[in-house]
Structures are given as structure tokens and as C-alpha cells.
Chains A and B, each alone.
Chain A
Amino acid sequence: MIFHEVLVVGGGLAGLRAAVEAHDAGCEVAVISRVHPVRSHSVAAQGGINAALANHPDGADDSPERHAFDTVKGSDYLADQDAVEILTGEAPARIYEMEHWGCPFSRTPDGRIAQRPFGGAGFPRTCYAADKTGHHLLHTMYEQTLKRRIKVYEEWQVLALAVAEGRSYGVVALDLRTGTIESFGAAAVIFATGGGGRIYGHSTNNIINSGSGMAVAYMAGVPLKDMEFIQFHPTSLFGNNVLMTEGARGEGGYLLNALGERFMAKYAPKAMELAPRDITARAIQTEINEGRGFPGGYVHLDLRHLGAERIMERLPAIRDIAINFTGRDPIKEPIPIQPGQHYFMGGIDTDADGATEVAGFYAAGECACVSVHGANRLGGNSLLETIVFGRRAGAAAAAYVKGGGAEAARKGAEEVLAEVKAQAEKKAAWVLEADGPESPADLRDQLRETMFEKVGLFREDKTMQEGLRKVRELRDRFPRIGIQHRGRKFNLDWARTLELEGMLLVAEAIAAGAIARKESRGSHYRTDYKDRDDANFLKHTIARLTPDGPRLEYRPVTITKWQPQARTY
């Protein structure tokens, strides 16, 4: 059995930041990742990362407190305010640290880190590196792991988390290159496995974002929190839903319907295109649904008035993507866009140190729910979350290991993992031999369509019940699947089918949470309950897996300074 003091699952920003922190705290650390770390989804983040640096004259009086208020208001008051204050309070230090590590941020004329406006703040707070901020941050973080010679297991897919008597002992994982299944004992395990965007159709997410980390934790008995809150990004490319950064509107881009109107004036007269994502995405979909979109269902993101020079300097990747995928140059033509699934506000239930109710098991980044995003995340806060809470989870895991956690894990891991590995192998072997009539690709496609159509931007009890029934039907069909290829080596058919059951379980938790929340808050908008209901629903949803499906519990929201108010922009 392989053993590491701290085992980080996931090679994106949160995972690598956690690994660096645990390493610097003196722990022996390894990272296990389904892809090479630079292929992780953090790389696709475009527009920027928020911190109250006050580098821009229009944001000279910015402060962590103002950033916290905007985040809390953006969350529709569901975020835990103590955690938000940590997020925004630690933000400047984390950004400067990334700069000291060599991240090539864009610069102000006097050489400081450049900032641009993003939704929900309205003035420049979002630090950026052109429109490839995630790429630059991830490469910089990866460089820091190389410098520390942190061991990375590349192209391994984690199948199970080993938990016994409230304590974590490690994971069982599949080596994609050989098809062998191994036990990884660990004193502390940190999940930084990203979101589950691909449970939905029309997702901006990379193809590997199946939510498998959330599912693996959920199946091991760790609860998920606030899963019903799914962010739809207002501007994804019509057709394939590649992200078109909020920075395009931050730089001054307009949203226009088929009549040529800047329709945001009707929905957010003050903030216009820089209203938060939930409001903007619904506005776009409303225009489309009411017949003011273009044929097929899209509106225009118009950058032409920004001019060629500004587009090429600030938004070069957006221009490349538009040209490559639609053949249209945004300097000359508007970009066709539609809302697309973008982000999971919910995730593995953690505190502000990434700790879960299982001793020695931590989570950070999109797979975790602290909660700092509540019912709606502000653009620029997810990259920030990865490095703030990635670091904190790494520090907490290291403290746990140094505080005696390693001893217990070393003693028990062999035995606990043997049992978990045997079960994982049994299931994997079953899938590898499965020759039933149901195609995993069909099940996956139907799941995605169901979630987007029935538990999407606009929700109501009847359609969500239909959605939940459909998800359960797909679960019932799963035992009758058949895969095409029986070899173990780099068998994508097998590996992707192994994730499918988890995707169905997570989908069920989303739908169940959404049906039970009889109000509208942030991204969760119900046409049958249009108002926010603080009296009954100012609380987090906690979902636990039972043989009968998710069991829901609720937990109060932590309020420190900001009492809930009406949310207008």
C-alpha cells in the first residue's frame, strides 16, 4: 500500500495550493489527479480574481469589508459571513503571494496589478492577467509544486474514500494508464476535485468536471451542502457553451437583443450589464423566451465599440475563441451568446478550514461548500476561494497530521483500505464486464438534458418533480448498462462509466434540495415561489445519502455584520 502523510486529490488551483501549504508546514505530501495538473479546470478561468487592492483610481477606497458586503449581497444573504470575511480579508495577501511567485498579472501604468470591474461590485476590484487569469495562476502554482518536488500521480481516477468510525484513512484509485486499482493510505486527505458542471447540459465546464469528488465523498457518508444552487453564466458561446468572460462586459461590452436594445436597463437599471450573474442570466433567458432573441435562442454580446486595440490587449483569448468556434471576429461582429451552466455554489460540507465532519478529511475549491458564495457567486470570487481555502485546508490538514493524525492512520489504513478496495474492485470489474442494453452515453446525455431543462434557470415544483423522477429512472436503468471495451488500459469507456453512478446521485441531491426550498434566492429561482423567504429558508441545506436517496437537514446561516436586505442592482 502506498502511504502519504497528506494526500491531495485534484491538481487544480485549490489542490496545488493546499499541497504547497502542507509541504511548507513540514508534511510529506502527494497529489493525485485525473489529468496532468495544468489540464485542470482552473486553467479555463478567464476574467480575474477579486481582491480589494485599491490599485485602480475608481476603486481607491475599496476595502476587504466592502468586498465582503458585495459578496454577501451577491450571495443573496446565504453565505456565512464569518467565512466571507476570511475570504476577503486574506485576499490581498494571497494575490501578492501569487505575484511574488511570478504570476504574470496585467499591469497598471505605474506597474501595479491591474484591476477591472466585474459584476456585483461595479468598480475595478478584479485582478487580471489578460483574459487568461486562471491559466496564469495555475501555471504559476504548478511551478511552485515543481520547485518543492511535490509528487504527483497523474491520470489516476479516485473511486472511493476510505472512512471508518468517523475518520478518513485514504482513497482507492484507478490508474488510467494500466487499469490497475491501488490503495493510497493517508493521514489526511484533501479533496480539491472541482465542480460537477457536466452533470448539466449546456455547461461551460471542461469535460472532466463530472462532480466525481463530491460523489465519492457523498457515497462515503460525508454530507453535501446547498447543492440546489447552480450558477448559470450569462455569456457562454451559442452552440457549444464555451465561456465568454464576464470581463468582456467589465471592459464595457453590451448585451443586445434581436431588436438591438440594451435590455439590461429593464432588469438592473443601475448595474446594467454588470449585474450579478443570476440576474443577468435570467434576463437573457427571459428575452429569449419572450421572443426577443435571435432564431435558435441567443442574444448578442457586442464588443465592437471597444475598438480593436482594447479587444486585442484585454480580451485576446475571447477573440480567438469567437473566431475559432463561430468564425466571427468580435472586432467586426457581435458574439452570439446564451446562458450556460457554470458553477456549483454547493459542495462537500466544510468549515472555513476545509474540515468536514470526518476527521482527517478536508475539501477546498469548487467541490467544497464553506459557504462563501451562498445562493449566487460573484465573478472573480471562485479563483480567490481556491487559493484562500486551499491554503487553509493545507494548513489544517498539516496541523491534524502533526497533532497525532498520522499515527492513527498508519495503524488503521491497511485494514480499512483493504475492505474499501475490495468493494471498489468488485464494482469496477462489474462495469468492465457489463454487457446490458443501456448505453452509458445515452444515460449521461439524458441526465444532462433533464437537469438543464427541469432543474435549470427557472424552476417550479411540477417540472422539478419530473426531473427527479427522470434521474431516479436513470438510476434504475444503470444496472442494465453495457460498455463496449473490456481492456483495462486507458479505457475511457470504463473510466467514464464508473463516474456515471455518482453523477446520478449528485443530481438527485440537487433536485431534492431544489424541490424542498420553496422560495427564490440567488440562482435558485422558482416561478411558483418568486420571493425570498428569510423566515423559513435563511438556512443551508445539508444532504446525506441514504438507501432511499438524500435525507435533507438544515443549518442556520452565520450572520455577523449584515442583516438581510432587499437585493437590487
Chain B
Amino acid sequence: MTTKRPEKFTLKVFRFDPEADQKPRLDSFEVPYTDGMTVLEALFYVLERLDGSLAFRFSCREGICGACAMFINGSYRLACETQVARLLDEGHAFVHVMPLPHLPVIKDLVVDMTRFWQNYEAIAPWIVTRSADPEKERLQSPEDRKRIDEYVGCVLCGSCYSACPSVWRNPEYLGPNAMMKTWRWVADTRDEAKEERLGLVGNEQGAWRCHTIYNCAEACPKDINQTNAIQHLKRRTVAAMLRGSRKLRTGRAGLET
């Protein structure tokens, strides 16, 4: 099972400070390999031992906080849970680290996620209930809980948003994450503003802008299928339209109470 590991490997890292540099460059570093080393650990090696100017985001180092999504050897991955050994096993001659594509670079691997967060906020990503809170919990069957399991596993890393050609083409599109998060609430038995939510995304900058390219699902480090979620939204929106639901037209105000 274990192949022989090199003593050192080459790490190539995208470098760019738009305020200081004319154009981006790729820096190469020789990093000593240690058993079980992850790409995030390799970046820390560079930061602490070779080049203190390297900028990147990090926090939990165990794949749950979503801070370190990067484009590594041609795939969207969380740097913290990507083993250097696995990349070498995949046949890559070196480790190649880029920031999330199609997002403005702040510095090196740190990208500006402002738009991603704005779109997330735009869909009112919190529970809306009209009924009074019960004394104890709102009941939900294990089967109903299972229906949202995939979607609540999202770590908000931005990979899907970065990977979506419809976002590249049309920055007004809310994007796969905001759509999937809308479906997370529509699919949650406890939420009581489902049709208002459908109304908010049942338009050309919402669900209809998704052309089922499946780039988002392919990019997701947590194996969430955003594209499927968006198709659920389209079906439910059509059904509500055919019923003539007036709640489709409340806009964001219908989610503010």
C-alpha cells in the first residue's frame, strides 16, 4: 500500500499582490516531506521557514471550518485535508496551489469572498416561522432530518461559487451556494416560509440561471450536490406558480418577520 516517499517535494504557489505587483507569478519551494503532511502544513512550512510574505487562510485544519479552500493540482480542495502523498500518488510531479479561481485576489491565496457572502445573506439564510415556538423542540422525524443532511454539511468554503460558469458569465447570479442554502430551508420541515423563498430565487438571477453544468457539485469538498438542489427548487417553483401562490411575490420582505 505505502509507496516510497520522496525526502523533498516541490510546492508551486501562486503569488500576487494586486496593489504591488504588475502581474502574478508562480514561486517554487522545496519542502521536506514528513509522514502524513498536508498541503496546509506545507504552506506553513514555507511561511515559517522559507518565505514569511506568503498569505493564505486557515483555521481548523480538519476540514470543517471551510477557510482553506484552494485550487490544488487542478481540483477544488481544502488544503488542510489534502495529503501531499495522495497528490504524488495521483501522478503529479509537484504540488501546485492556486487561489479559488474567478474571485478577486487580495494577496496570494487569499481571495475576496464579499460577493459570495452577500449572496448568501440575500436569500435570508435563517429559519422563518409564523407559529409560536413550542415549549420544547419542534418535532422532526429522523427521515425528515435526513433530507437536509447533505445540505447542512456545507462549510461555506466558496468552491461551488468559484467553479460555476454561470457565475463567471453573469456575476448578478446568486450562485450555487445561495441556491442550495435556499433549498436547505425549503426542504426543512420546520421552516414556514417555503413559497416566499421560492419566490425570491424563482427568477433569472436565481434558480433559472443554473444550466445544470454540475461544476459546483464536482468542486464541492463536502460532496454536496448543489445542482440537484437547484433542480428541486425549479420543480417546486413551477408547482407553486401553477397553484397561483401569491407568496411567490412577497420578495425579501416576506422573509423578514
Q: How far is the CA of A95 from the CA of B135 in the complex (A)?
A: 11
Please indicate the chain A residues that have their CB under 8 angstroms from the CB of B53 in the complex.
484-485, 487, 491, 493
Q: Check if B127 sits within 8 Å of A39, measured CB to CB.
A: no
Separation in Å of the B50 CB from the closest CB of chain A?
Answer: 9
Known: A147-B126, A484-B52, A493-B53. A100 touches B138 (CB 8 A): yes
Cβ of A144 under 8 Å from chain B: yes
Known: A102-B127, A239-B35. A441 touches B136 (CB 8 A): no
- Residues of A within 8 Å of B, CB-based: how many? 62
Please indicate the chain A residues that have their CB under 8 angstroms from the CB of B104 in the complex.
none
Separation in Å of the A311 CB from the closest CB of chain B?
Answer: 15
Q: How far is the CA of A146 from the CA of B256 in the complex (A)?
A: 11
Q: How far is the CA of A41 from the CA of B62 in the complex (A)?
A: 11
Please indicate the chain A residues that have their CB under 8 angstroms from the CB of B125 in the complex.
143, 146
Known: A147-B126, A489-B19. A135 touches B191 (CB 8 A): no
Q: Check if A102 sits within 8 Å of B126, measured CB to CB.
A: yes
Q: Mark A134-156, 1 if CB is under 8 A from B, else 0.
A: 11100100011011000000000
Q: Check if B60 sits within 8 Å of A107, measured CB to CB.
A: no
Tell me which of A109-117, A298-306, A375-383, A501-509 binds B.
Answer: A109-117
Known: A36-B67, A492-B47, A493-B53. A107 touches B140 (CB 8 A): yes
- Residues of B within 8 Å of A, CB-based: how many? 62
Q: Mark B213-255, 1 if CB is under 8 A from A, else 0.
A: 0000000000000000000000000000000000000000000
Cβ of A552 under 8 Å from chain B: no
Q: How far is the CA of A487 from the CA of B191 in the complex (A)?
A: 48
Q: Check if A107 sits within 8 Å of B141, measured CB to CB.
A: yes
Known: A39-B59, A104-B152, A484-B53. A132 touches B64 (CB 8 A): yes
Please indicate the chain A residues that have their CB under 8 angstroms from the CB of B153 in the complex.
132
Q: How far is the CA of A100 from the CA of B142 in the complex (A)?
A: 17
Q: How far is the CA of A240 from the CA of B81 in the complex (A)?
A: 12
Please indicate the chain B residues that have their CB under 8 angstroms from the CB of A493 in the complex.
47, 52-53
Known: A102-B188, A102-B191, A492-B54. A242 touches B138 (CB 8 A): no
Question: Can you sample 18 A-B contacts with CB below 8 Å?
Answer: A38-B156, A39-B65, A44-B60, A95-B137, A99-B137, A100-B133, A101-B127, A102-B188, A105-B137, A107-B144, A112-B139, A143-B127, A439-B48, A441-B49, A485-B51, A490-B55, A490-B106, A490-B110
**Which residues of A pack against B, CB within 8 Å?**
35-36, 38-41, 43-44, 53, 95-96, 99-102, 104-113, 130, 132, 134-136, 139, 143-144, 146-147, 177, 206-208, 239-240, 242-243, 317, 320-321, 324-327, 439-441, 483-485, 487, 489-493
